[in-house]
Amino acid sequence: MNNTELGDLKIEREPVNRLIIKQILKYIKNADLQPGDKLPSEKEFMENMDVGRSSVREALHSLVTVDILETKPGKGYYVKRESNIFSLPGSGDLSEVLVAEQDFMALLEVREFLEKKVVSLAAERATKEDTDRIKEVMEEIEEAAKSRKNISDVTVKLHVALARATKNPVLVQLIKKVVPLIVRKAKDMELPAEDDVEIHTGVDEILERRDQEGLRQWVEDHLSYLKERFIEHVEEGEIEGVVDYY
């Protein structure tokens, strides 16, 4: 092995704050704590996790900021509500941890339900402006792949453009929330760029033909690919997850 190859080897260490948040969320889940239930004290978390008080306090406060926990002066921390994917912070360690806590297969099931309706309505309601916009985004996806850029953000734009073609603002908001969540969950799978391009290719042409069945099949094929890749990675131990959801 030469020096260049050695230089490419990196060990990524997970931040302590992120690990503590994960353990607190795991404790809440395993102990089946409900809103109003009290958490162990900072001292108990410190001793069980063998970490400093400031680290525990920072993690607990992070969960307070997103209303998962609340503090009661002189009494400690209490569960305020369950982790909710629709009120996640935009970015950062806390956001990544909370997204990781969601069931990937459950998210895909919701997305399939939503997107099959989206493409059916888009086939009925899309204007020329909508179809032109979707063609533009497809070109952006292909260009990003050629230049070896991360195409995830561009593929999200495609799904949002399809949702906009339904003329239903609520569907647009749902797609804007659900699809990026799945993209963030799927990033650890490191999908080959050529595969990502292939599973999106052709949707613009199917939409132009107003082919509802073809569009629904496109959604099904797209999500089946993601399910298969996820199961492969879980079975190989590369990412955490549950494969017996279905």
For the record, the structure tokens of 93 come out as: 């360690």
> With bands split at pLDDT 50, 70 and 90, how would you rate the model's confidence at 16?
confident
Lowest model confidence (mean pLDDT) among 58-62, 72-76, 98-102, 201-205:
98-102
- CB–CB of 51/109 below 8 Å? no
Query: What average pLDDT does this structure show over 12-34?
Result: 82
- What average pLDDT does the chain have? 82
Percent of the chain having pLDDT more than 70? 80
Query: Domain total for the chain?
Result: 2
For the record, the structure tokens of 104 come out as: 């990937």
Q: State the CATH number of the domain containing residue 45.
A: 1.10.10.10
73 and 127 assigned to the same domain: no
pLDDT of residue 243: 40
Q: Is 198 domain-assigned? A: yes
DSSP-derived secondary structure letter, 86: G
* pLDDT for residue 214 is more than 60: yes
Range of the domain at 199: 104-235
Q: Is 121 domain-assigned? A: yes
> With bands split at pLDDT 50, 70 and 90, how would you rate the model's confidence at 146?
confident
Q: Is 165 domain-assigned? A: yes
* pLDDT for residue 150 is more than 90: no
Nearest to 185 by CA among 235, 135, 242: 242
Q: Is 166 domain-assigned? A: yes
76 and 108 assigned to the same domain: no
Lowest model confidence (mean pLDDT) among 1-5, 20-24, 227-231:
1-5
75 and 112 assigned to the same domain: no
pLDDT tens for residues 45-65? 999 999 999 999 999 998 898
For the record, the structure tokens of 108 come out as: 């895909």
Whole-angstrom CA distances from 177 to 38, 80, 184, 241 are 31, 23, 11, 21
Q: Exposure of 229 by Cβ count < 10 A (0-12 exposed, 13-18 middle, 19+ buried)?
A: middle
> With bands split at pLDDT 50, 70 and 90, how would you rate the model's confidence at 90?
very low
For the record, the structure tokens of 37 come out as: 């239930």
Q: Is 244 domain-assigned? A: no
What SS3 class is residue 38? strand
198 and 136 assigned to the same domain: yes
118 and 77 assigned to the same domain: no
pLDDT tens for residues 73-87? 889 999 987 765 555
State which of 37, 52, 82 marks the end of a domain.
82
- CB–CB of 65/88 below 8 Å? no
Higher confidence at residue 10 or residue 84? 84
Task: Return d(Cα 51, Cα 135) in angstroms, integer.
Answer: 52
* pLDDT for residue 216 is more than 60: yes
Q: State the CATH number of the domain containing residue 195.
A: 1.20.120.530
> With bands split at pLDDT 50, 70 and 90, how would you rate the model's confidence at 91?
very low
- CB–CB of 48/144 below 8 Å? no
pLDDT of residue 244: 42
